[in-house]
Amino acid sequence: MEALVGRRIRPLQALSPDMAEDELGRRLTEQSLASNDGLHSLNRVLDSVRKYRRLVVRMIVVGALLAGVAGFLMSPSYIATAQLAVDVRQSGAADALNVGGASAAPTPAAEESTIDTHVTVLLSDAYLRRLLPTLRALEDARHGAETGSQTWMQSLRTLFRRTWSATKEMLLGKNHEPDDGSALAALKRSLRVGQERRSRIIAVTSTASNPQRAAEIANTVAQSYVDEVARQKQSDVEYALSSVSAQSSKVQRDLAKAEEELKASRLGQSSPSRDAALEWQVTMLAQQFETLLRRRQELTAKGLTAQSDVSILATATPPERPTSLHPLLMIPPAAIIFALLACVLAVILNHFDRTLHTEADAAEALRIPCAGQIPSIPLEPGKQPHYVLEEPASHYARAIRSILVSILASDPATPRSQRVVLVSSSIGGEGKTTLAWSLGLYAARLGWRTLLLDFGQFTRRPGGESANLLSVLAYGRPLADAIEHIDESGIDYLPATSFGGHRLRILADPKIPSLLRQLSDTYDFVIIDGPSLLEAPEARLLASWADHVLLAIHSGSTDREAAQTALRQLVRTEHLNPAQNTRFSSVLTRVEPPQQDQFGGQQLFKRTWGALRQRSKRAITWRMWGGDAIELKRSGSPKLNPRNWLRSD
């Protein structure tokens, strides 16, 4: 007892408005200067990640799972390559002969131009469109041969592809049967044609989800092009041969006609000059005819030995291993990407988050000390107050003891040992009633005379012989009749009113100061369970008669502005009782407990079963209307049960 009321370090008091403004200006200046420091920014990022660590971990796990599932459902990629050899000397200028009869050597520019021409033709839409029927026939034949030989993974991938294709077709409104345009686009996406280094080799590379399909596409494109080039060259030779034959026939007719005219001129009376001209014409036509005959013979020989200037160097074989990444290798980069996204999301959420999460947040936002943080208890509401007594070594009990010590050590210079503590909150559901009952139960366990004055939203039912603070002030009933002692916990209970609407009448009564002084002199510890300021603004009048005000803040739920507004309302009532040196502190409630303090299923079952057995032997509990409950003893006298008095506050 003496150790608790001995000298302690005095917590900071609530600042006055002027001092608060000066302090706020100084802090804002420091923050603006520190914002330029990279270490400060890094700390903010780390705080955001630590604050939303569950979100970060969940996003990493989800990203890794999605990457793994997508990797296993996606079909692997196989690459097959066919090689074409280009004989540049036989193309273009190869048909032209030099004076010595040898073919002219092509220049490097001519070689590059010839190879680029072949590559362009191989990738042209006109050429690839002519291959679509052949490729479809090969794919249909392969599907027919592979029917029934697929593994379960291949079947699952096939089903996934069909489902995805059907979904895209339904969303885009396309027909089920693919047209030549889409098939041509898909073929061009899976096909690559290019020169290998600076050689005369052209590589035709195909990518497909099936190794047989990849080899079929590469070989079909290469072989069809070789055959087409050979046919084109043969047709060129035939066209040139027909043209030379037509010219030689015409020259032969002209030569015969010129010879007849020369004979007639020699037999007749003609001038020597005319004979000379006819002789020259016959000679020229004869030479031209001989040239055409030689050209015809050359074309005929070339047609018999015609060879394509493009040939197959190596055919594509079905690859044994896929070229795509293994599905497991996709998990690490996906996890890293999702981790970065989660960190960015955590920073954004922390920037726009206006709620209070930690003691540092509460102290910085409210400029008052934070007495501690109360973890949430995964038990039924009626069991929560007694948890502080049943589990004295738990994190929850240690937090209650810490708050109680902070209250007692707030003013060691005060000669009297009584303390009047007001527990309030900005809105309902902050956990203030749980905090008030826990403090009262622990104080009663220390042997103090403890009174719980209830100004909560939910009060007892009216009528009957039960009195309350309103009946004491309004009708002069004895105070002892309104106070009920709870034997189970050793705490006295005084309800303020049977109706929530009469709180202002009680607080405005001139007798309330003397009554509170009487209670403070009678009891060692008086706890006022005040209503939330949002539902009952008149509750701030209680702050002027309390030694200490605890503002309950739901961790991660209470808005920063709401808590600041509630504190300002409580501080502004100090002038109503200048002699009262009221101190203010905040308490974080319903904080996530540490992992070691969480309950297992076996412990929860044992505690619940033990409580049910104990209560079944002693009483029958009826829950009455309005959220209240009374315990009917077998003797018939009503007795309050604190386990059932705890409600949603």
> What whole-number distance in Å separates Cα of residue 279 and Cα of residue 267?
14
- The pLDDT confidence band at residue 38, using thresholds 50, 70 and 90, is low
pLDDT digits over 486-530, tens only?
A: 888 888 988 887 555 566 777 767 777 788 888 888 888 899 988
Q: What is the mean pLDDT of residues 549-567?
A: 88
Instruction: Round the CA-based radius of gyration of the chain to a whole number and report it.
Output: 50
> Which run of H or of E encompasses 567?
helix 560-571
DSSP notation for 589-614:
EEEPPPGGGSPPHHHHHHHHHHHHHH
Q: What is the mean pLDDT of residues 208-213?
A: 88
More confident site: 283 or 595: 283
Contact, 631 vs 638, CB < 8 A? yes
- Block residue for tokens 């002219």: 104
Sheet with 638-639, strands from edge to edge, namely 620-623, 629-632, 638-639
pTM: 0.54
3 state SS for 25-70: HHHHHHHHHHCCCHHHHHHHHHHHHHHCHHHHHHHHHHHHHHHHHH
Q: What is the mean pLDDT of residues 361-390?
A: 74
The lowest-confidence range among 209-218, 372-381, 536-545 is 372-381
Q: Which of 280-289, 467-476, 631-640 has the highest mean pLDDT?
A: 280-289
Q: What is the mean pLDDT of residues 30-54?
A: 73
pLDDT at residue 335 in the model: 92
pLDDT digits over 58-89, tens only?
A: 999 999 999 888 877 777 889 999 999 998 76
pLDDT at residue 174 in the model: 56
> What whole-number distance in Å separates Cα of residue 630 and Cα of residue 620?
9
Q: What is the mean pLDDT of residues 135-143?
A: 81
pLDDT at residue 614 in the model: 52
Cα-based distances in Å from 286 to 255, 259, 264, 446: 7, 10, 18, 139
Q: What is the mean pLDDT of residues 189-208?
A: 92
> What whole-number distance in Å separates Cα of residue 540 and Cα of residue 216?
85
**pLDDT of 621 strictly over 70:** no
The lowest-confidence range among 40-54, 186-200, 312-326, 400-414 is 400-414
| Positions of E strands within 535-634 | 548-554, 583-591, 620-623, 629-632
The lowest-confidence range among 48-57, 457-466, 567-576 is 457-466
What domains sit in the chain, N to C, each tagged with a CATH number? 78-94+106-142+176-314 (3.30.1890), 358-599 (3.40.50.300)
Contact, 214 vs 78, CB < 8 A? yes
> What whole-number distance in Å separates Cα of residue 610 and Cα of residue 605?
8
